[in-house]
Copies of this chain bind each other. A is one copy, B any other.
């Protein structure tokens, strides 16, 4: 595949794991492990194309209110996904509220960026992330200060994650669901109706094909 214009940073919302499981006669939580192989395929496709940064929506503080069986399953899937990619060329960051028992302790070391292999690609995982947590961090930075904020992106908890060019969501829903609200301000938003465990590289190429024909204006 050859594209005339590629996104530099892609956000991935891998939704539909539970619906996939129940559609396939499994219990809801059994869907999460099915999301690992798609993640690896997507990583490989991005590496081949030379896309420099990828951010995965792992799970949120809101998701953590779900039943325990599901919670344990998506926590484990996040741990497995990060471990899987740490064997590859990647500069990995796990971002989320890690002052909480919901945050898997195995991922603590990734809360500062870790380089593996040639560190070719920046990969971010949001784990126990919350948009309110992210932005509140920013306001906390202003306590007692009299400086003026010139760029809100600079002070938020996710400040190390830059603007996202393209968000791709699997599972048919057309909403951001709290995914990095400030980085997604100008993102082009592409929705795949198939569930994430049914990922096929063609979904991804269709998104890139659509993206290359979008007109970037940033409001200008």
Contacts and interface: CB of A to CB of B under 8 A. Distances in A.
A184 interface: yes
Interface stretch (A4-12, A21-29, A41-49, A129-137): A129-137
A119 interface: no
Interface string A168-196: 00000111111001101111111000000
B174 A149 contact: no
A3 interface: no
Q: Indicate how many identical chains form the complex.
A: 2
Interface residues of A, number: 43
A15 to B, nearest CB: 10
B182 A186 contact: no
A182 B181 contact: yes
Contact of A189 (B139, B143, B175, B214): B175
Interface in A46-82: 60, 62-63, 65-66
A220 B65 contact: yes
Contacts of A140: 148-149
A219 interface: yes
B132 A151 contact: yes
A139 B66 CA distance: 32
A111 to B, nearest CB: 22
Contacts of A177: 185-186, 217, 219
Contacts of A146: 143-144
B185 A181 contact: yes
A173 B214 contact: yes
A133 to B, nearest CB: 10
Given A135-B152, A175-B186, A177-B185, 11 more contacts: A63-B220, A66-B220, A131-B182, A132-B151, A139-B149, A142-B143, A143-B146, A174-B189, A175-B189, A177-B217, A189-B189
Interface of A: 60, 62-63, 65-66, 131-132, 135-136, 138-140, 142-146, 148-149, 151-152, 155, 173-178, 181-182, 184-190, 214-215, 217-220
